[in-house]
Structure 1
């Protein structure tokens, strides 16, 4: 009886795991470099893989990218906002519900290097 119960629990566990979508993650990426990653399992509240790009209007040179899981309502959307007087546009696009459909993982980069590069790029537009 114990083997039967263990078998049932294992079978249910396999179904639960197989229903979860796996996406590449990149909370903050500059160019082809990514900070953190590489994959995550999406939750039921954020069941879609996405790729996002933030472009600053002061300089099209600086784009910040992100990847991960997102709610369906935020898929294929464009929003605008501003930070420290610089306006930017964020575009998100979702892909079909296949594991890791939001592109290959990017090159890993240390957070300090990425932040310095971003600050230099922003600073150079004001000089």
Structure 2
């Protein structure tokens, strides 16, 4: 009887250990709704949600940045960067590739200027 219980416990642990990780679309930096460099990533515990997020700056609705990937935090946030207010809206989901991301080709100048903004932004968002 005890052997059957132990085998049952081991089987359940094995089932959860062998289950596949959640796969999400990842975008480190997106501008105007388009991802600059997209990829797919496998989430690790405790980041068990795919997400897509958009940061809008209060001074201009035109200027917005986006990102996507894996997260454990699905809360919307707000704050200030260099005196400018921003609001981050997150959408979270829990199925493979549920956080769509599209890629676009940009000029090198566009990529470099966006990378500078993203490095400042990512330290506040993530």
Structure 2 partner of 1:116? 113
1:18-97 equivalences under 5 Å are 18-71=19-72, 74-75=73-74, 77-95=75-93, 97=94
Deviations 1:91-127 (A, max 9, x none): 11101x21100114332546741453698xxxxxxxx
- Any gaps of 5 or more consecutive residues in structure 2? 1-15, 117-126
TM-score by length of 1: 0.68
Report the equivalent of 1:106: 103
Q: Is the 8 A contact 2:56 2:87 kept in 1?
A: yes
What is the deviation of 1:44?
A: 1.2
- Report the count of equivalent residues: 103
Secondary structure of the residue aligned to 1:113 is: helix
Rate the CA distance shift 1:105–1:114 in 2: closer, same or farther, 3 A. Answer: same
| Deviations, residues 59-86 of structure 1 (Å, cap 9, x unaligned) | 0001101100000xx21x2211111111
